[in-house]
């Protein structure tokens, strides 16, 4: 990494929710690589955190927990200038048998969580102008079967992003979102590894993307770093799709595909 790259976010303090693993972990590491002081807010303590990354306990569904986490970050580091709302859950459920409890759980984590974190962080972000980056999904635009709660929650995140950009812009706070496609996380890998013909699944997943391969968690982290930096100072209210072009290519019948 170049010296310039390592100071892009110098003197910034970032909170990454759900940063113990997967995309969140990669985001935390890329922010730290860019010079930020990074706090991972998660229900569980991650092991082997990199240089410049610490952990604070956080339940994004609890306003009390959110406030305590943010207060502790400001107490320890003096400020909070970047918030990345990454914490989320996903499960499959047939719509007709969908329990209300699981619907409420999905929205509590995936949508109410970002609302609460942004709300309690705003007084600190207003001090010097800050950046909020929400992690949405391409399923906020298009849907997989049995993902009614997940898709609704991520579409809500995209809507929340635009609303916060409008309401917080007067304070110098920008709010954007990243909508990842298929990313090579442990969760997604488990779906692939459990399939009887794993190699064929990998091949077909790659074919879905015009770039010819699935994404890496660092691909999302790199977009987050840009959105959190001054390089995107005139960008707000946007949902940046990081999907290798998947949504840009309408599907054809298999007989016509290449």
Domain edges within the chain: 5-184+216-244
Judged against a pLDDT cut of 60, whether residue 3 lies above it is answered with no
Grade residue 1 by pLDDT with cuts at 50, 70 and 90: low
Q: What angle do CA 189, 191, 184 make, to 5 degrees?
A: 25
What CATH number matches the domain at 5-184+216-244, 3.40.50.720, 3.40.50.1820, 3.10.350.10, 3.40.50.300?
3.40.50.720
pTM beyond 0.85: yes
Mean pLDDT of 217-241: 97
Closest CA to 67 of 3, 137, 108, 15: 15
Spatial neighbors of 223 by CB under 8 A, at least 6 apart, are 178, 240, 242
Grade residue 184 by pLDDT with cuts at 50, 70 and 90: confident
| pLDDT score, position 106 | 96
How far apart are the C-alpha atoms of 33 and 95, rounded to whole Å? Answer: 42
Judged against a pLDDT cut of 60, whether residue 181 lies above it is answered with yes
- Give pLDDT tens digits for 109-129: 999 999 999 999 999 999 989
- Answer yes or no: are the C-beta atoms of 15 and 121 closer than 8 Å: yes
DSSP H helices, the chain, are 22-33, 63-77, 100-107, 113-128, 148-168, 186-193, 198-207, 217-228
- Give pLDDT tens digits for 135-161: 999 998 988 888 999 999 999 999 999
Active-site choice (55, 150, 182, 226): 150
How far apart are the C-alpha atoms of 221 and 229, rounded to whole Å? Answer: 12
Judged against a pLDDT cut of 70, whether residue 189 lies above it is answered with no
The first and second tokens of residue 180, run together, are 């990842």
Residue 191 falls in the annotated catalytic set = no
**Orientation angle between helical segments 148-168 and 100-107, nearest 10 degrees:** 30
């Amino acid at each position: 990494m170049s010296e310039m790259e390592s100071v892009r976010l110098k003197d910034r303090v970032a909170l990454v929710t759900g940063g113990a693993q997967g995309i969140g972990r990669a985001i935390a590491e890329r922010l730290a690589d860019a010079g930020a002081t990074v706090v991972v807010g998660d229900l569980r303590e991650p092991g082997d955190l990199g240089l410049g990354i610490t952990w604070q306990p956080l339940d994004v569904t609890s306003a009390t927990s959110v406030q305590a986490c943010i207060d502790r970050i400001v107490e320890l580091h003096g400020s909070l200038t970047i918030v990345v709302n990454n914490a989320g859950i996903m499960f499959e459920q047939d719509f007709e048998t969908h329990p209300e409890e699981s619907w409420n759980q999905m929205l509590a984590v995936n949508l109410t969580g970002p609302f609460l974190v942004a709300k309690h962080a705003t007084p600190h972000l207003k001090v010097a102008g800050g950046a909020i980056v929400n992690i949405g999904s391409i399923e906020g635009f298009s849907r997989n079967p049995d993902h009614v709660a997940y898709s609704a929650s991520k579409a809500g995140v995209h809507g929340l992003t635009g609303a916060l950009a409008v309401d917080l812009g007067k304070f110098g706070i920008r709010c954007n979102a990243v909508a990842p496609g298929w990313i090579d996380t442990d969760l997604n890998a488990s779906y692939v590894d459990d399939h009887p013909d794993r190699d064929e699944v990998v091949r077909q997943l790659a074919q879905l993307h015009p770039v010819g391969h699935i994404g890496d968690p660092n691909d999302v982290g790199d977009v987050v770093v840009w959105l959190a930096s001054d390089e995107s100072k005139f960008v707000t209210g946007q949902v940046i799709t990081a999907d290798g072009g998947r949504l840009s290519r309408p599907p054809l019948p298999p007989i016509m595909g290449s």
